[in-house]
């Protein structure tokens, strides 16, 4: 009897663990300060690693999304299109930052990169809360190469990363329908 109760307890614990990973309905995160914090941390990382000698030992090229925003053009795009752009871009950045982390040797740089990576992951959560599918973990989205470009240095990568967050991601979150209902 005691062994059975122990098994039951273990089962419950395992199920609870698994239950954490399952998606659950969350409140829409509409506070712009959430993304603002991510932006500021990305900027701090960019500033900190700008003077890195020899690119902090990072070599290779990284595919990054385009960050330009034309408001006139933006008006013509709907939310889904914007969301697609954002999600593919976040995916690309995740990949690139992962590759950078493998290249760098200094612990301080590693921690900064890790922080940005976790921020990207958190952004996926935010998008999910706004009922926008998170494709950052899924395979490469169906976005053409025109929407991407290549960078060859860490500083450039981080700058593009910051611009992407400030621009497209923020505009998407500001215009999210889930948040528009709350605001006037």
Partner 1 sequence: MTNNNLNKLLVFCVLFCAQKTSIVHGAQALETKVALLLHAEPENPKCFAEGMSDLTCFWEEDEERAGSADQYSFIYTYQNENSSECSVTALPAAGGKRLYFCRLSQTQLFVPLDIRVFRDELLIHNRSLFIELVFLLDPPANLTLTSTGTQGQLKASWLPPSLKYMGDSMMYEVSYTMAGSHIGKVEEVQASSELILRGLQSGTKYKVRIRVKLDGISYSGYWSTWTDPVLMETMPGDLDPLIVSLSLIISLVLTLLSLLVLMSHRRFLLKKIWPIIPTPESKFQGLFKVYVFASLEYETRYEEWLGHSTGGLWLRPAYFYSEEFPAPLEVLSEVSLGPALPSSALPPKASEALGEEDEDEKLKRVDSALMEGWRETPQEHWPMDQLRAIHQHPAPWTQSSLLESHDAYVTLNAQNHSGEEPLDDILEETLPLQVLFASGRTSSESRSDLGSFQQSSGLGRLSSQSSFEYPNHTWPPKGPGYTYMAVADSGVSMDYSPMSSSKIDDIGKGVIYTNEYKNEIPAHRRPIGTPIHFAF
- Among 113, 116, 136, 168, contact with partner 1 (rule: CB under 8 A): 168
Q: Which residues contact 23 (CB under 8 A, 6 or more apart)?
A: 128
Give the DSSP per-residue string, 130-176. Answer: TT----SSSSPPS--GGGEEEE-SHHHHHHHHHHHIIIIIHHHHHH-
- Among 62, 91, 93, 164, contact with partner 1 (rule: CB under 8 A): 164
Give the whole-angstrom CA distance, residue 100 versus residue 109.
10
Q: Is 178 in the site for partner 1 (CB under 8 A)?
A: no
- Among 34, 63, 66, 143, contact with partner 1 (rule: CB under 8 A): 66
Give the whole-angstrom CA distance, residue 125 versus residue 119.
10
Please state the closest distance from residue 129 (CB atom) to partner 1, in A: 18
For partner 1, which stretch binds (CB under 8 A), given 20-28, 95-103, 125-133, 171-179? Answer: 171-179
For partner 1, which stretch binds (CB under 8 A), given 46-54, 85-93, 102-110, 167-175? Answer: 167-175
**How does DSSP classify residue 57?**
G
C-alpha to C-alpha distances, 129 to 14, 73, 83, nearest whole angstrom: 26, 26, 13
For partner 1, which stretch binds (CB under 8 A), given 7-15, 35-43, 82-90, 104-112? Answer: 35-43
- Contact set with partner 1 (CB under 8 A): 32, 36, 39-40, 66-72, 149, 163-164, 166-168, 170-171, 174-175
């Amino acid at each position: 009897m005691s062994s059975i109760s122990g098994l039951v307890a273990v089962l419950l614990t395992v199920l609870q663990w698994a239950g954490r990973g399952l998606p659950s309905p969350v409140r829409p995160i509409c506070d712009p300060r959430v993304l603002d914090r991510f932006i500021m941390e990305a900027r701090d990382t960019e500033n900190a690693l700008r003077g890195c000698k020899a690119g902090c030992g990072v070599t290779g090229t990284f595919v990054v999304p385009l960050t330009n925003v034309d408001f006139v053009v933006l008006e013509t795009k709907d939310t889904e299109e914007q969301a697609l752009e954002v999600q593919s871009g976040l995916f690309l950045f995740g990949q690139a930052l992962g590759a950078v982390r493998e290249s760098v040797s200094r612990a301080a740089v590693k921690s900064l990169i890790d922080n940005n990576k976790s921020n990207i992951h958190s952004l996926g959560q935010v998008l999910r809360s706004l009922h926008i599918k998170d494709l950052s973990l899924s395979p490469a989205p169906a976005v053409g190469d025109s929407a991407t470009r290549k960078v060859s240095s860490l500083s450039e990568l981080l700058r593009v990363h910051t611009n992407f967050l400030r621009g497209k991601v923020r505009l998407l979150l500001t215009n999210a329908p889930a948040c528009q209902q709350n605001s006037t």
